[in-house]
Each structure stands twice: as C-alpha cells, then as structure tokens.
Amino acid sequence: MIYYTVGPLVIRTMTEADAHTIAEGERAQGYGTTPDRFLSRLREQEEGKCIAIAAEWSGQAAGYIHVYPDSQWGPLGGRGYPEIVDFGVLEKFRRQGVGSRLMDAAEAVAAECAPEVYLAVGLHKYYGHAQRMYIKRGYLPDGSGVWYGDKPCEPYGTYRNDDELNLYLVKKLR
C-alpha cells in the first residue's frame, strides 16, 4: 500500500528487502541493528498485530515506523489504543521531511482505530530530536510518569538512562 508520494519520497508498506537495507544502513551508522528486528515486525503484520511502514527516497529505503492498532504495552496497553513503535530515519535522509511524512502516515493509520495514539520516547540526549518533534506535533505526556522497560518507575527509584527509560506521550487525533 502507498500512503504518500511526492517527488523522490514514497511512504509505503514495508517489505522484507527494506528490513535488510534499513538494518544495513543503521549498522553503517554504528548501531547494532539486525534485520530480525524488522522481520519480526513483518511477521506481526501478517498476524494482524502491526502495520509496518517504510519510507523510500529515490528508490532507497530511508526510514520506518510501526503502528500497533491495539497495543498491549505501556499505560494504555490492552485498552484499544494504537501505539507508534520503533520509528527511525537513516541519517543521510534526515532533514528532508521523511520523518514527518512517516509520522503523518502512522497517525492516519492510528486515527482509523481510535481517537488517540500514544508512543514512548527515550530520555537520553540521542532522543532529543524525537522529543522535540513529538511535542511540535501535539504529543503530551500521558501522566503516568517515567517508565523503565514495561513498568512505571517507582518514585525515588534508581534507573539507568538507557533506551529502556521512556516517557509515554499521547495525542488526540480526532
């Protein structure tokens, strides 16, 4: 399915080839990404649990985003709300509107499921651009506090500031 196309940018359903290309691109950026991460999302898409979306720039896989229409994780998990999960744009394609168009597609998919969508954003400095983008797009903290992994953090607890330390944000779609 094609969600959006303009000039060199196409936002469409992710393919298995994308899984390999994006993983290779992220490894070149210094991440330890393997295709398995994306292949598992494609399997979940086949099972009806996930919608895997890819960005293509001039024929090259440029980014990805996933929507779980009835997410089972986080503060709204199991309550019929969609969650945006695992969003990224390869560095060489950033600052060209790829991320914004991926978010537009994910939010359009989510709006078909519920009046609100939620997501988790990491708290360390490497998530700074994402934090700013989400706030500019109208996402607000959901009020459940900071989470580590799949559990809310206890007040005054000690937690490691890694990719598992997140703040959940929610946005009204309609």
CA pair distance 7, 155, nearest whole angstrom: 49
Residues 6+ apart with CB under 8 A from 94: none
Please write the tens of the pLDDT for every residue from 87-121: 999 999 999 999 999 999 999 999 999 999 999 99
- pLDDT for 174: 81
What residue type is 54 in one-letter code?
A: A
Phi, psi of 159 (to 5 degrees): -135, 150
Round the average pLDDT of the chain to a whole number and report it. 96
DSSP-assigned states of every residue in 29-82? TT----HHHHHHHHHHHHTTS-EEEEEEETTEEEEEEEEETT--SSTTTTTT--
Q: What is the pLDDT of residues 16-41, one digit of tens each?
A: 999 999 999 999 998 889 999 999 99
Over residues 70-99, the mean pLDDT reads 95
